[in-house]
Amino acid sequence: MTDQDIGKGIREHEEILRKTLGITTINKGPADTSIFDADPGKDSIAHGINAGYWGKTTLANKDIFTGADKSPGSRVRRLQALRRRLQAALAERPEEPGLTIFDTCTDGFIRTVPVLPRDPRNPEDIDTRAEDHTVDEVGYRLLAARNIARRIKVGMV
């Protein structure tokens, strides 16, 4: 798929969520910061996705993504958040937010995440030579959701 086709697909999926679930607001999602990089004379991947999403290139600079947290130590924080959510989901009456993975998630999560090897130099991390795209995606979303929840909680009276 082209960048613009991906943007159109995201828009279509969001419209389905709005209509079927009555969702009115969809927050920006985190994306690996490499999609914002542009080569000389060429637009970034994010620019193309935004153009497809908005249906016009004039709005292509209005990002539907936020940059993922890739600060030092963020991978370990992402993994800890994932482990906590999976553990919480096992509780009969969870007191913390959980994460449930459905058996239909075979191509990404179920195939790759359970078999990720630990980093031999840092057991809290995973070996980045392994296929880690899915765990990164989930981790980016978990950390971003935590930040959104904090902003909402601070704004409440």
Domain count, the chain: 2
- Rounded distance between C-alpha atoms, residue 146 and residue 138, angstroms: 12
Give pLDDT tens digits for 104-140: 998 889 999 999 999 999 999 999 899 999 999 999 9
The answer on 103 and 56 residing in a single domain is no
The answer on 140 and 78 residing in a single domain is yes
Tokens of 71: 């600060």
Give the dihedral sign, CA 88/138/149/18. Answer: negative
Cα-based angle 135, 78, 137 (whole degrees, multiple of 5) = 35
Residue 76: count other Cβ atoms within 10 Å of its Cβ.
15
The answer on 142 and 81 residing in a single domain is yes
Tokens of 86: 């999976």
- The predicted model scores a pTM of 0.74
Q: Which domain holds residue 13?
A: 3-67
The answer on 117 and 62 residing in a single domain is no
The one-character DSSP state at 60 is T
Give pLDDT tens digits for 11-62: 999 999 999 998 888 888 899 889 999 999 999 999 999 999 998 767 666 8
